[in-house]
């Protein structure tokens, strides 16, 4: 799988799923305490649709970050697998559904979609100060 690690403008990222505010608050406290972001979000390259990392994004937004570390990928890559979490409604979604949802401005409930990669992406270490 081909990807690039970029510092993306936080306002350019398009969401397709809601987040759980309390989870984002806890994560923001942890990131602020560490002073470092250890895991990048995952976005598709054409529209910057957020594929994974809704809580990380919202935590960084709450901390006042203008940039977010992101692995940018070609969503058509067959190494990116999409499913839904157990108990999710809808039960099935396609990659086209995810992009359409993000472009429409409406969102699925939290933990609807599950993106898995054939191989895990590397951990990162980006100082919080670089994202402000």
Catalytic residue positions, numbered: 17
* Residue 37, burial from CB neighbour count under 10 angstroms (0-12, 13-18, 19+): buried
Residue whose C-alpha is closest to residue 128's, from 48, 53, 50, 28: 28
Residue whose C-alpha is closest to residue 1's, from 57, 69, 81, 94: 81
Strands 41-44 and 80-84: unpaired
Tokens 């937004």 correspond to what residue?
61
């Amino acid at each position: 799988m081909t990807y690039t690690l970029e510092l993306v403008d936080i306002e350019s990222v398009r969401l397709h799923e809601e987040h759980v505010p309390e989870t984002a608050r806890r994560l923001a406290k942890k990131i602020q305490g560490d002073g470092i972001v250890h895991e990048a979000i995952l976005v598709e390259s054409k529209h910057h649709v957020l594929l994974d990392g809704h809580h990380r994004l919202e935590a960084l937004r709450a901390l006042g970050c203008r940039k977010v570390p992101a692995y940018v990928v070609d969503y058509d890559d067959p190494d990116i697998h999409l499913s839904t979490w157990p108990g999710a409604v809808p039960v099935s979604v396609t990659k086209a559904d995810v992009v359409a949802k993000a472009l429409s401005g409406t969102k699925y409930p939290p933990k609807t979609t599950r993106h898995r990669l054939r191989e895990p992406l590397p951990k990162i270490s980006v100082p919080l100060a670089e994202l402000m």
